[in-house]
Amino acid sequence: MPFLFFPFDPLYLYLVLPALVFSLWAQFRVKRSFDVYSKKLTTKGTTGAEAAQEILRRAGVTDVKIERVNGSLTDHYDPRTNVIRLSDTVHDASTVAAVGVAAHEAGHAIQYSAKYVPIKIRTAILPVTSFGSRLAIPLVLIGFVFDMMGLINIGIILFGAVVVFQLVTLPVEFNASRRAMKALGDTGLLTADELPGSRKVLSAAALTYVGALAVSLAQFLRFVMLARRRR
């Protein structure tokens, strides 16, 4: 998310910068955890794709496809096409990290199948959020440059929608990880010694969402305070 660099104000230093540092640390941590546990092969030799398929099968979800996508940590579930896309380092990899990530994405698919309320809320506000994420900062910037409080207020409201979306995303991500860890234990896809490794990878990944929310919330508060000063 781009930042507004007005003439220096302490709000950026006290609000946004600490949140940004935390977010960068969270991204570093998830990459490091994934790298560490990508070197640990699973006892049963189950690949990420196989783990996701087995978890879906046991949950009674039979209409979700699993595809391979290029990149690393590009894994995601697409509810529009009902497809789980697993990255090169997950799809065919028989590692503790790969199985954990694949199980997490299967957890998202199960959430949609079970009509999990937070994910329904997130889906409902997604169009507003997509619109707001593109226009919020330009509107705030133009409003400050030309002293147009109306534009500033609209931009702040749209940016607030982004913050709400990220706030709703937290329980969705945490719940998907809980579902993943429970499924991995119940199915025996990972041994008792391997489960903590997957948990560390998913916990680190969850922190990146906390970091993103922290940055957006700090920026939102900064905009509000700057607008009050302008008034």
21-62 residue pLDDT tens:
999 999 999 999 999 999 999 999 999 999 999 999 999 999
* Catalytic (active site) residue 54: no
CA distance 219 to 142: 16
Residue 19 lies in a domain: yes
Residue 141 lies in a domain: yes
> Whole-model pTM?
0.91
Residue 101 lies in a domain: yes
Residue 8, pLDDT above cutoff 80: no
Report the number of distinct structural domains present in the chain.
Answer: 1
Q: How sure is the predictor about 231, in pLDDT bands with cuts at 50, 70 and 90?
A: low
For the stretch 58-111, pLDDT in tens is 999 999 999 999 998 999 999 999 999 999 999 999 999 999 999 999 999 999
Order the strands of the 76-78 sheet from edge to edge: 65-69, 83-87, 76-78
Residue 3 lies in a domain: no
Residue 7, pLDDT above cutoff 60: no
Domain that holds residue 33: 10-230
Q: How sure is the predictor about 2, in pLDDT bands with cuts at 50, 70 and 90?
A: very low
Q: How sure is the predictor about 1, in pLDDT bands with cuts at 50, 70 and 90?
A: very low
CA distance 222 to 39: 42
* Contact predicate 53/66, CB 8 Å: yes
Tokens of 129: 């959020």
Residue 197 lies in a domain: yes
For the stretch 106-164, pLDDT in tens is 999 999 999 999 999 999 999 989 988 899 999 999 998 888 999 999 999 999 999 99
Residue 1 lies in a domain: no
CA distance 209 to 175: 13
β-sheet bridge partners, residue 69? 87
User: The tokens 């719940």 sit on which residue?
Assistant: 175
Q: Which of 8-12, 143-147, 221-225 shows the lowest mean pLDDT across its residues?
A: 8-12
* Contact predicate 220/17, CB 8 Å: no
Q: How far is CA 86 from CA 75, 146, 149, 220, in A?
A: 5, 46, 45, 33
β-sheet bridge partners, residue 65? 83
β-sheet bridge partners, residue 76? 85
Alpha-carbon dihedral of residues 59, 62, 64, 65, nearest 10 degrees? Answer: 120
**Residue 178 CB neighbour total at 10 angstroms:** 13
Residue 2 lies in a domain: no
How do 83-87 and 65-69 pair as beta strands?
parallel
Active-site residue (options: 50, 54, 105, 194): 105
* Contact predicate 210/30, CB 8 Å: no
Question: What is the average pLDDT score of the chain?
Answer: 93
Residue 5 lies in a domain: no
Close Cβ partners of 179 (under 8 Å, ≥ 6 residues apart): 103, 106, 107, 110, 111
